[in-house]
Chains A and B, each alone.
Chain A
Amino acid sequence: MEPHEEKPIIYTMENKPIVTCAGDQNLFTALYGSLTQQLPREPMEWRRSYGRAPKMIYLEANFVQFKEELLPKEGNKALLTFPFLHIYWTDCCDTEVYKASVKEDMQRWQAALRLHGSVDWLIAVVESDNKKKNKTNILPRTSIVDKIRNDFCNKQSDRCVSLCDPLKESSRSQESWSSFLTKLRTLLLMSFTRNLGRFEDDMRTLREKRTEPGWSFCDYFMVQEELAFVFEMLQQFEEALVQYDELDALFTQYVLNFGAGDGANWLGSFCQPVRSWNGLLLRRPIDMEKRDLIQRGEASLLDLRSYLFSRQCTLLIFLQRPWEVTARALELLHNCVQELRLLEVCFSPPVFQTCLGRFWAVFGACFRYLGLPRVWGVLGVFRTSLGHISDKSGVFLGCSPYKKLKEALSSVEAFEKHYLVSVRSLGDPQSAENFLLDSLKSYVSESWSLPLTHTRKQIAECQKQLQKMDEYLQTSALLASDTNLSEEERRHFCQEILTFASQTAEGKGQQKDARVALSMSSVTRLQELCFRPSSALVHVSAALLLELRLCSLMPVPVTLEHISASIHFTEEQPGSTAQKRAAQNPDGTVTFPAASPASASALELCEMLEHSPSDNTLSSAGLACRNMHLLMRRNDSATSLDTPNTALTALALEDGAQMLRASDVTLSPGNNSIVFTAPPGVYTLRQLCATLGRVQLVLPHLYPVVQYEVYSQEPQLSIQPLTVSHLVCVVVSEHLLAGLPQQVKFTILTGHYSVKKGDALQLSNTDSMPVLHSSTRSARILSSSAELVAESALSIQSSEKVTSISLPVTPPYHTLEFLLDVLCHIPSCPARMESERLTNGQISHRTRSRTRFNSGMTLIDQKVSVDCPWSIYSTLVSLTFHVPFKVKHSLLSVGRRKFIQVCLQNVSDTNFRLTNQTLTENQHTPSLELLSLNTTTHSLVFRQQCVFSVWELRWSGVSPVSLHCEFSASFAPADAPDAALKPYRYHFTLERVSIRPAEGEQDCRTGALCRLEVSLTRLSEPSDSDEEYSDTDGLRTTRLLYEVIDNNSNWAVCGKSSGVVSMPVAAMATHKVHMEVMPLFAGHLPFPSIRLFKYLPHHASPVIPPDTDSCLENDSLSLDDQAETASLRSRGSVQSLGSGESAQPRGPMPKRQAFGPGQVFNGTQGQQVLVLPAADHHLMEVNVT
């Protein structure tokens, strides 16, 4: 091979178009500097043939001395060495000299050019003032330039230019330089256009001949590359690249055609087996070795490809588009493989792999040029290529996130660290594992199951090599349950776990953590949890079974030593547990959702209602997210739970927790069920743990929250009115009605107590509420879930004091129900009871009657004392009865006739039938007659309505002072038979008050004082609660305040009009008060009205807060505006009441309290007294006609 130095061409990028210089060498040398400097200063527009777009081009030139050899010989296609322009330099200004020597020299030069067909020439004449001064005989008309033009440039006057004073800094010199350079550029471009055009034509002709035998691609390659070189030389890298791309495409097409059976002879040289590939060399712009090989037709396919690629890369980098390098590199890689196959080139993978190694180096070099926006593109290229390498060589490369790539791109070393290591990572499982885990993450997050399985398998391989047993087992567990694997593979991984599990801890030496915890979710799937009974709420002695339904994903049956569920004692109110058990179906099953990435990220919202502790009103309401801790955690740092590494740390077993345990459980592939028995208490299930030798399978969290409750309960007795009445009434009252037989329901929750044979409830009898006997009573026994267990007869024995109900045998935690008929007598008004001793030695509480005026019903509380067999204490049960009627009576007068009207109001919601209304007089006064004016004996009284009955009172002789009457009637619900009629009685007393005239006088007279005797009679003995007693001299008395007022100004009360009397507490005790009154008018005057109040001394705190007008205050100022009491004060009548109390202006005041309606009977109401006019001191004429 010839040494390169002998060739005149230097293949560097410093190549410039060659311009030869002939003539005066010294002159040129002087101008050379400024010429090369100024030529590229301004661009020229280069118009192209074939419609190609014109380009602005900066011209440079390599000026060499003209030699004959430089001129291309015929057939030489070398363009780089082609002299595009020939310049003849002269500074001759003397015609003589010109004619003598210069002209001759020029002619020789011209002849040489013409010989080689070169028409691109220029004659430069340098004019200098210095020379002109010396030569005075210059003709101004015909200069040397003109002469030269005449001699050489026929028709081409522009081929001769003059340059004036080029070395001087004058404007004229500048001007001439500028025009000279323009000329030079124009001519150069003309030469380019002409020569390149011709070259291209030749090249095209050559290409057309490619179907002819003997045509060689290598030859053509050299030709077209020559053109590319020129473009490159002219800085037209785009054009140059096009040349190479055309070559590339042509070659590719040939190979494809070859594959299609259209072979060309010249392709034979490319079919030789690949023995080696030295890789790519991008440092040198042109790989001359390869080029030589191509020139000689000895290049292999890879040589050609890599040479082509290196040239393309060079141009791309000149074009500042290095990213295309990577894309093209990839293409190259694929093309090469493809073409090698098509050409049936023998090819061995190791060679390819070493080739790739070099290929990466190329990448590494390229990456340094890259900016970040392109990184993803690079990554894309990367992934694809790496994916295929992994196919070819069995090495896997992970794709890596952006950050890592960025880091990798920062330096070649880092790049190699991140990516290239993997190529060689077969020897380094540690880094391989990391890469695999990286890629695993992406597969998991995008749920690509097949690549996931494959990657996991590789990870398992690495972990096994690294002896990372925990991780390896976890991966194995996942693989064993992976359905993408074959049965055989799954068995293998399953066996790995089992083998490890059966190894004894000693075999491994001193290992502190002998047990390995694996995530249970990888091996089994918890599908359902089922409670029996379904409520998950049982009492202590009953069995609560908990059935777990696990689906084993293992390929073989696995025998677990035991499986345990850890439970957490929950101290919560029973009410809140119901809320927690929301996930539970009514049939007691809890279905666990299949773990999927989608469901894991879903919001789990629950309602939150907060009640204020004081009055249980809603204080706040809101929504709470239960799995916030999962959703809100940072995504980048915390890895998914599916990756085995992190899952292991979360598998911390809760120690010391209570366990539900089941031993020797075999999990066969598919569904299994495991039954646990629950201990008492309120518990929440927390974890599941299966032990298998040294391996523990742990399910760290159970979601949804599952709770159960095993409780203990005391027996309870409750008595309630039977809400569903047996009456077919329109409105069913939920009250118990007094006077009618009523059903009450006894409910006994047995709790932990079991009712034995002979156990009985002892009810203390009271007279006012007897228990009615009925022969057929039965008790129902209900289980805790309200199912009817049994029904048995109830036997009731009753003695004088006690009613004993013997209970049927009832197991614990059952409900015993039975009904009992009771009757509450209506006490005749007012109700009063003797205190009595009950049989069991307890003082019974007095039954009380109280009146609620707002509801209009009188209530009777009946306390029943019940002795229960399970307790030594009696249970006191309160029943409230409602008196259905309210009776009022009134005395009506017509002249001297008196009528008694009784109004009976039905205050209940039940309609009643009323019969036999009678009014009797208790004292059986013979002169008295009560005549019924009622037409019907039967009447219906509807709810909330009244029935009126009227009797006329007839008497002979003196009217009785008081009448003790009793109204009685029988009543029954409207639709009940006559047998159900119950009596109703009402007692009342009528009394009489009289005014007697003064002693000795027959009649009262106007203006004369009369004596008024007020007679107060206690008709009934008061109940102790009703009135205040004061003990004076051992006599129990009640203090009453009386007041005589005449509102109609008929009477003038003289002296004391009011006072306090002490009434002895005894029936018929009478207190008479005498006072003086003066009638002011004559005629039949009504009696002055007498008001009666209870007088409460100040020390007794009144039960009912007094009204303001019922206050008797000694402080006179406070009474000013009270008109009613004003009269009292003016008469000073009160002063006598409390002399000591007047000293206390404010303080506990004595109170007066009005009597209830019907409590006071005014005997003189409606009576009149005859008052005669005063003694006739004046004459009064009475004319009688």
Chain B
Amino acid sequence: MAVCIAVIAKENYPLYIRSVPTQGELKFHYTVHTSLDVVEEKISGVGKALADQRELYLGLLYPTEDYKVYGYMTNSKVKFVIVVDSSNTSLRDNEIRSMFRKLHNSFTDVMCNPFYNPGDPIQSKAFDSIVSTMMVQAF
């Protein structure tokens, strides 16, 4: 399961970042921030024709020695980043995809909340719990 899940606004500032408490939060912030460049590169699509504009899943952004970083971008350019432990080989691409889909659904719910002001950091229990189900249980 994921070790860090982040939602990044269109303007590249974090709306939501949650990581497993066992490891340094800072490290994940760096990881996610760094991944934004890869996202940028992927969506700019220079050199290769974008196969499907409707494909929101960006795939593996980059691997590090410890983690694999996956990306997803909504049509409104909100980015989701999921960081997975590299040693966790059991996770397939499809599972990552479904995680993103779940995340996106929950995010849509948050946006539908009339009391939520778009652009603010997400503070939602429902969203939190969805993220929790996808995170590695800290033990």
Residues of A within 8 A of B (CB): 256, 330-331, 333-334, 337-338, 341, 373-374, 376-377, 379-381, 383-384, 387-388, 390-391, 399, 443, 446-448, 450-451, 454, 598
Contacts and interface: CB of A to CB of B under 8 A. Distances in A.
Nearest to A338: B65
B29 interface: yes
B65 A388 contact: yes
Given A373-B46, A454-B26, A448 B14 contact: yes
In order of increasing CB-CB distance, the 7 nearest A-B pairs are A337-B65, A450-B29, A380-B37, A447-B13, A446-B12, A380-B38, A446-B13
B60 to A, nearest CB: 11
Given A331-B63, A446-B12, A338 B86 contact: yes
Given A373-B47, A384-B64, A451 B38 contact: no
Interface string B28-60: 011101110110110010110000000000000
Contacts of B63: 331, 334
B62 interface: yes
16 contacts: A331-B63, A333-B65, A334-B63, A334-B64, A334-B65, A341-B65, A373-B47, A376-B41, A377-B41, A380-B40, A384-B37, A391-B27, A446-B13, A446-B33, A448-B29, A450-B25
Given A377-B41, A446-B13, A387 B47 contact: no
A374 to B, nearest CB: 7
B119 interface: yes
B30 A376 contact: no
A256 B47 CA distance: 33
A598 B121 CA distance: 13
B27 A379 contact: no
A334 B12 CA distance: 26
Contact of A387 (B31, B40, B41, B119): B31
A383 B34 contact: yes
Nearest to B119: A598
A338 B89 CA distance: 13
Contacts of A391: 27, 30
Contact of B40 (A376, A443, A448): A376
Given A330-B62, A387-B34, A388-B65, A376 B44 contact: yes
A399 B33 CA distance: 11
Given A331-B63, A383-B34, A387-B34, A450 B40 contact: no
Interface in B61-97: 62-65, 86, 89
B139 to A, nearest CB: 22
A12 B82 CA distance: 46
A446 B63 CA distance: 23
Contacts of A337: 65
A451 B86 contact: no
Given A373-B47, A376-B44, A446 B11 contact: yes
A147 B66 CA distance: 74
Given A334-B64, A450-B26, A383 B13 contact: no
A855 to B, nearest CB: 61
A450 B17 CA distance: 11
Nearest to A453: B26
A388 B64 contact: yes
A399 B35 CA distance: 12
A379 B46 CA distance: 14
Contacts of B11: 446
Given A334-B64, A334-B65, A373-B46, A448 B13 contact: yes
B26 A380 contact: no
A595 to B, nearest CB: 15
Contacts of A381: 62
Contacts of B65: 333-334, 337-338, 341, 388
B37 A443 contact: no
Interface string B86-118: 100100000000000000000000000000000
Nearest to B35: A384
A649 to B, nearest CB: 27
A881 to B, nearest CB: 64
B28 to A, nearest CB: 9
A373 B64 CA distance: 24
Contacts of A256: 89
B29 A380 contact: no
B50 to A, nearest CB: 15
Contacts of A451: 26, 29-30, 33
B85 to A, nearest CB: 12
Given A447-B13, A598-B119, A384 B62 contact: yes
A305 to B, nearest CB: 14
Contacts of A373: 46-47
A330 B60 CA distance: 14
Nearest to A399: B37
Nearest to A374: B47
A401 B12 CA distance: 15
A376 B36 CA distance: 11
A388 B33 CA distance: 13
Given A338-B65, A450-B25, 5 more contacts: A337-B65, A341-B65, A374-B47, A391-B30, A451-B26
A448 B34 contact: no
A391 B86 CA distance: 16
A623 B119 CA distance: 28
A896 to B, nearest CB: 97
A593 to B, nearest CB: 15
A334 B67 CA distance: 10
Contact of B30 (A374, A379, A387, A598): A387
A1058 to B, nearest CB: 94
Nearest to B46: A373
A753 to B, nearest CB: 55
Given A338-B65, A450-B25, A598-B119, A384 B12 contact: no
A314 B22 CA distance: 43
A391 B13 CA distance: 22
Contacts of B29: 448, 450-451
Contact of A376 (B13, B25, B37): B37
A1127 B41 CA distance: 109
A270 to B, nearest CB: 18
A142 to B, nearest CB: 64
A501 B63 CA distance: 48
A192 B30 CA distance: 53
A319 to B, nearest CB: 15
A401 to B, nearest CB: 12
A447 B29 CA distance: 11
